[in-house]
Amino acid sequence: MSDEQLPLEMEEDYEPDILTLEDENGQEHTFEVIDAADINGSRYLAMVQYVEDAAARLEQDAEMLIMKVSELDGEEVLDLVDDDEELYQVSQAFYTRLSEVYNIDMEELEKELKDLE
């Protein structure tokens, strides 16, 4: 399923990859990119709401947002994944990959993914 995946490494000098996105109402939201992967020929980012405090970040029950990297007029843009099948496949790839690093309840995940079908 995956063409290429970046290595996940937890380092002591970790610097989060932070993105601030503006929604359709002009409100800004800050996210941390927790993983990026090329899946089925497209680039995707897995992101969670950014929490500045490291201790609070470890305690948060974060919901993952998946964005597809596209190109528009020669510039990279981020799009929500609208296709249910594509979202299901990409979600499974990221959750499987991230479960190796983060504490993810796989039973709960499987239930959520089935709800997407």
Mean pLDDT of the region 89-106 = 79
Task: Note whether 45 and 78 are within 8 A (CB).
Answer: yes
The confidence score (pLDDT) of residue 6 equals 46
More reliable by pLDDT, 54 or 37: 37
Pairwise CA distance, residues 45 & 65, whole Å: 8
% of the chain beyond a pLDDT of 90: 44
Judged by phi (left if over 0) then psi (alpha if -120 to 50, else beta), residue 75 lies in: beta
Pairwise CA distance, residues 71 & 80, whole Å: 13
Write down the mean pLDDT value for the chain: 80
The confidence score (pLDDT) of residue 70 equals 94
Mean pLDDT of the region 100-113 = 65
Whether the per-residue pLDDT at 108 is higher than 70: the answer is no
Mean pLDDT of the region 41-61 = 79
The confidence score (pLDDT) of residue 53 equals 72
Pairwise CA distance, residues 90 & 69, whole Å: 13
Q: Which of 73, 75, 82, 3 is nearest to 43 (CA)?
A: 3
The confidence score (pLDDT) of residue 51 equals 81
